[in-house]
Amino acid sequence: MAPEPTRILAVNVGSTSVKLALFHDRALQASESSPIGGGSDRERIQQVTEAAAAFVERCGGGLEDLAALSARGGVLKPLEGGTYAVDETMLKDLEEGRYGTHPSNLSARAAQKLAEGTGAKVFVVDPVTVDELEDRARPTGIPSVSRRSIFHALSQKAAARRAAESLGKTYEEGNFVVAHMGGGISVGAHRAGRVVDVNNALDGDGPIAPERAGTIPAAQLARLCFSREHTMEDVAKMLTGESGIKAHLGTSDMKEVEELVGSGDEQAVLLAEAMAYTIAKEIGAMAAALGGEVDAVVLTGGLAGWEWLTKSIKKLVSFVGPFLVYAKNLEMEALALGAFRVLSGEEEPLTYA
């Protein structure tokens, strides 16, 4: 008789909703996105746990039938990539926002609460603070300022694993340049299973993005900061959240932007071309970080479904290597697969504390 399938619940908390997905082994059974309102962290966690319990019940069975819950990693200390067992130290760091605050900080805390009394294990997979940078990638020309690794690690590593599989390799056997393209854009150099260089997408570094400024001239930024016309909070919004395409066109809804480009709107076309251009430049930079040895360039994230954008990028850097495009969001699957690899004995769980 075949063994019963391993049931894994993936939990990904955002600013206004929680994404939930139930997997049987490697196969997706069901998924949904439930809205969550404002309030304290405790109130928001309560909303998440209620939504998750109801979701699992609708799928058949209960929380006690879960083998594991796999949560999106929040802003944690710098870590190697992999699947981490949630422990008290991690939960404390997330609760206190020791390394930064973000809605995803609630994911592991909610998953831990859901697992209480069930025997289910709780994991986080490839959090945003995965840091595998080579030493030579860290220094800047200012001794007190070092480059940080904060990026879409879960999405990038999932896409790289998918690409490696399509090429008949393991992730650890290949070299990939991966671009996650969403509200923020990160482009990473993946060498033998490690992201040896990547732009800091959280702080707006890298390409122009729908809601990120991208890399801008340092002296002009310094003058802006000391102009006495803006507060620190103003400048932070200029770099992330209220910048990029949104600052120019008044919207970060890329469906609207796509329609404007399709209609020939000159400003929209210019900004979209600038975004494609800066993404392509970052891909070229990451190819250099890999010494030109690139098995594939991988495009993923919500904007990977915009054919005009992917074609524009490919036209500029097709010389780097073959292109693979994964427009489907791979993050929920990546959460489940990370937990499954541990439960099946393919990997050992990593320790946070």
Q: What CATH number is given to the structural domain containing 73?
A: 3.30.420.40
Residues 81 and 185 in one domain: no
Q: Indicate yes or no: pTM above 0.95.
A: no
Task: Name residue, tokens 């210019």.
Answer: 270
Q: What is the spatial distance between Cα 320 and Cα 297, in angstroms, rounded to a whole number?
A: 7
Total structural domains in the chain? Answer: 2
Q: What is the spatial distance between Cα 118 and Cα 293, in angstroms, rounded to a whole number?
A: 47
**pLDDT at 55 (0 to 100):** 97
**Predicted confidence (pLDDT) per residue in 174-194, tens digit:** 999 999 999 899 999 999 999
Strand order in 27-35's β-sheet?
A: 27-35, 17-24, 7-13, 68-72, 121-125, 83-85, 350-351
Residues 188 and 218 in one domain: yes
Q: What is the spatial distance between Cα 98 and Cα 225, in angstroms, rounded to a whole number?
A: 26
**Predicted confidence (pLDDT) per residue in 212-260, tens digit:** 999 999 999 999 999 989 999 889 888 888 899 999 999 999 999 999 9
**Predicted confidence (pLDDT) per residue in 16-57, tens digit:** 899 999 999 889 999 999 999 889 999 999 999 999 999 999
- Full residue range of the structural domain in which residue 300 is found: 135-144+151-321
Residues 261 and 161 in one domain: yes
Residues 35 and 116 in one domain: yes
CA 135 to chain centre: 23
- DSSP H/E element including 68: strand 68-72
Residues 189 and 304 in one domain: yes
Q: Which bin fits 41, alpha (ψ -120 to 50), beta or left (φ > 0)?
A: alpha
